[in-house]
Amino acid sequence: MQISERIEKYWDKRSEDFSRVRRLEIAGADFLAWNKIIEKHLPAGKNLKVLDVGTGAGVFAVLFSKLGHEVTAIDMSNKMLNEARKNVSDLNCRAEFIRMNAQELNFADKSFDVVISRNLTWTLPDAMQAYKEWYRVLKVGGVLMNFDSDYGDKNFTNKETCAKGEVNDEMLIECNEIKNALRISTHNRPRWDIELLESLGLQVTFDSDINSEVHKDKNLDYDSVPLFAIYATKKI
């Protein structure tokens, strides 16, 4: 089985419980915190076209829909997309959901004002190709936002470290094996990400750890690995 298939099957297994936790996040203080930090970095203008890459359970799709923007959300896990569709519909929001590879986007050049992703890059077989694609579909003046953690040297040996929600021992082992098989796990992040994005011609600012800014809900558990934020503007 190819690594991309393993990743897809892993998130299919995680989809229902992952979605349960994300619904709690949407209903609590963390959603408001994410709203604040994202609005601060959006390009000027109304009715922005947003690409939510690796939408998972659809948290960012809900957020941008509530802000009045046009959202296209993609993911490789069909089961995760189904959860996202339900969550968005239940909250009377709107977004287009498409099963698509984050590394091979089926969109024209300069299609989106915002490309955003969260907790995805560390799971990609070819993060460099993904960044190139995200740059390609971003409009001039548009912003790429990526929120991720450097899990490369971490061992997923407890439920606090591989992700949010219930994870059994078998899934922890699978998560660890997948992570160790990916090239991005060898990189020093976010330094690697920043250097790559700057080489593509993006103007980059970043925050090495925004955990305290977006993890406000004491009823939700998050791992202690720093969550970095990258904000990259396409100038030409």
Beta carbons of 95 and 49 less than 8 angstroms apart: no
Say if residue 190 is preceded by a cis peptide, omega within 30 of 0: yes
3-state SS, one letter per residue, for the chain: CCHHHHHHHHHHHHHHHHHHHHHHHHHCHHHHHHHHHHHCCCCCCCCCEEEEECCCCCHHHHHHHHCCCEEEEEECCHHHHHHHHHHHHHCCCCCEEEECCCCCCCCCCCCEEEEEEECCHHHCCCHHHHHHHHHHHEEEEEEEEEEECCCCCCCCCCCCCCCCCCCCHHHHHHHHHHHHHCHHHHCCCCHHHHHHHHHHCEEEEEECCCHHHHCCCCCCCCCCCCCEEEEEEECC
Q: For residues 187 and 193, give the distance between their C-alpha atoms in angstroms, rounded to a whole number.
A: 9
Q: What pLDDT digit, counting tens, does each position of 142-181 carry?
A: 999 999 999 998 887 655 444 455 677 888 888 888 999 9
Q: What is the per-residue pLDDT for 219?
A: 85
**Mean pLDDT computed over 181-206:** 97
Assigned token pair, 156: 């997923």
Q: For residues 96 and 98, give the distance between their C-alpha atoms in angstroms, rounded to a whole number.
A: 7
Q: What is the per-residue pLDDT for 105?
A: 98
Residue 113: phi, psi to the nearest 5? Answer: -80, -30
Q: What pLDDT digit, counting tens, does each position of 87-136 carry?
A: 999 999 999 999 999 999 999 999 999 999 999 999 999 999 999 999 99
Assigned token pair, 150: 């450097």
Residue 56 pLDDT class (50, 70, 90 cuts) = very high
In order of 52, 125, 174, the CA distances from 38 in angstroms are 13, 27, 32
Q: Of the ranges 164-168, 214-218, 223-227, which one carries the lowest mean pLDDT score? A: 164-168
